[in-house]
Chain A
């Protein structure tokens, strides 16, 4: 019942490869490779509007917004049938299955527009982040 060299080598190589694949899909590497500037939310008539497209993930994945301003998170779908159509924002206890095509306005009151708001799809495969500064 001892491990032979073959087993150990195959184990080590496998672990290294899987580690590499996980690095590829980790949130850090995806934001790093995506772009240089993080989009900033725009303020219209005292309301901050953040546009996020949902299809096969969320884009942009990171948005910087002003803290303490009434905010509307506008999520648009266009032929979206994957996980990203079911949006979950744990901090707001928000969950909604969006129509395959359309837009959904999620209101974030000024007092909740603080810190980092994490949104993700109901299976957790895709996510986005809003940083209130």
Chain B
């Protein structure tokens, strides 16, 4: 088998194969990249492999009788590393550029909320929200997820901001986490990003056993909302982004809170989330689009490097917030 990277791939392939009428069972062995299929066949093994390959081809996998040699294309790194470096440098310099001073009004109209959203999506929030979106969508695209998974995520995010923003306005209480919960959440998000980033690099076939993988259950739910009935997971992840430690989200909440009504609070947060949508949509639908291009290998490695860098940035920032280390950055 080629193209398999994680527990979610195994689940997907097993389910696709098991759906066939003549196949009794299918079991994927990730460590050896093999699949054992039990069923009734009349063709030669080569022909069977070819037929089965067709079933999983659309998801980027291939099945053959001969064992695949390690195809981690290290040559891709010649392109991926400089591209990732350019993106990271652009990100760091963008933070230095002082975009936040563009916001001059302290009175928030819906137009201002939208602009704040736009700025937020390229500012510090990009490291955590954008990084998470990139890692999830690139991984999802790599696992054969479709536009539906990505759309559900965005629907969840926009809808979640509307409803939670409304609640903030109605109840007059902002929904944010305490200091410790914030740090724990940041570390958890950094860890998820790191694992997804390492998997995106696709260089650890030879240490498959040591490779960090998402538990199959989690992977199945988050990545493959499209192939199964788990519409809920990407939707909930989208809603969950409301609580990510992004300064902009929190100060918008404080404003939403001051409006005092459900509708105004809801619209403020919704319009803010709408402002962050273009960049986040570019990240998620862009990943999906590129996943079918010939140079997808370069893209996934580039995304992997960027995601790992952002994961480390978030991790050191979380440690600094906890007072464990001194801040490494001052933008």
Complex interface: stretch among B19-27, B37-45, B50-58, B85-93: B85-93
Task: Specify which chain B residues have a CB less than 8 angstroms from the CB of A15 in the assembled complex.
Answer: 85
B250 pairs with A21, CB closer than 8 A: no
Majority SS of interface residues in chain B? helix
Q: Considering only CB atoms, which chain B residue lies closest to A101 in the complex?
A: B106
B320 sits at the interface (CB 8 A) = yes
A81 pairs with B92, CB closer than 8 A: no
A99 sits at the interface (CB 8 A) = yes
Task: Specify which chain A residues have a CB less than 8 angstroms from the CB of B125 in the assembled complex.
Answer: 123
A41 sits at the interface (CB 8 A) = no
Q: Considering only CB atoms, which chain B residue lies closest to A29 in the complex?
A: B330
Task: Specify which chain A residues have a CB less than 8 angstroms from the CB of B321 in the assembled complex.
Answer: 88, 90, 120, 122-124
Task: Specify which chain B residues have a CB less than 8 angstroms from the CB of A97 in the assembled complex.
Answer: 174, 176, 250-251, 253-254
Task: Specify which chain B residues have a CB less than 8 angstroms from the CB of A69 in the assembled complex.
Answer: none
Q: Considering only CB atoms, which chain B residue lies closest to A1 in the complex?
A: B74
With A82-B124, A124-B317, A127-B320 known as contacts, the answer to whether A25 contacts B251 (CB < 8 A) is: no
Question: In the docked arrangement, what's the CA distance between A56 and B74, Å?
Answer: 40
The residues in A between 17 and 71 inclusive whose CB is less than 8 angstroms from any CB of B are: 17-18, 20-22, 24-27, 30-31, 55-57, 61
A126 pairs with B331, CB closer than 8 A: yes
> Is the interface on chain B under 10, 10 to 19, 20 to 34, or 35 or more residues?
35 or more
A107 sits at the interface (CB 8 A) = no
A57 pairs with B330, CB closer than 8 A: yes
B210 sits at the interface (CB 8 A) = no
Q: Considering only CB atoms, which chain B residue lies closest to A9 in the complex?
A: B78
Q: Mark B174-195, 1 if CB is under 8 A from A, else 0.
A: 1010110010001000000000
B318 sits at the interface (CB 8 A) = yes
Q: How far is the CB of A79 from chain B (nearest CB, A)?
A: 4
Q: Which of A81, A91, A101 contacts B323 (CB 8 A)?
A: A91
Q: How far is the CB of B306 from chain A (nearest CB, A)?
A: 11
Q: How far is the CB of B292 from chain A (nearest CB, A)?
A: 25
21 A/B residue pairs, CB under 8 Å, sorted by A = A1-B74, A4-B75, A10-B79, A17-B86, A21-B93, A22-B92, A25-B95, A56-B100, A78-B106, A81-B120, A81-B251, A83-B124, A83-B247, A85-B250, A90-B321, A95-B178, A100-B251, A120-B320, A122-B250, A124-B317, A125-B127
Task: Specify which chain A residues have a CB less than 8 angstroms from the CB of B327 in the assembled complex.
Answer: 27, 118, 120, 124, 127
B233 sits at the interface (CB 8 A) = no
User: How many pairs of residues, A versus B, come closer than 8 Å at their CB atoms?
Assistant: 175
B215 sits at the interface (CB 8 A) = no
Task: Specify which chain A residues have a CB less than 8 angstroms from the CB of B119 in the assembled complex.
Answer: 82
B331 pairs with A4, CB closer than 8 A: no
Question: In the docked arrangement, what's the CA distance between A97 and B258, Å?
Answer: 13
Task: Specify which chain B residues have a CB less than 8 angstroms from the CB of A98 in the assembled complex.
Answer: 251, 254
A25 pairs with B124, CB closer than 8 A: no
Question: In the docked arrangement, what's the CA distance between A20 and B174, Å?
Answer: 40
Task: Specify which chain A residues have a CB less than 8 angstroms from the CB of B88 in the assembled complex.
Answer: 18, 21
Q: Mark B313-327, 1 if CB is under 8 A from A, else 0.
A: 010111011110011
Question: In the docked arrangement, what's the CA distance between A122 and B146, Å?
Answer: 34
Q: How far is the CB of B137 from chain A (nearest CB, A)?
A: 21
Q: Considering only CB atoms, which chain B residue lies closest to A11 in the complex?
A: B81
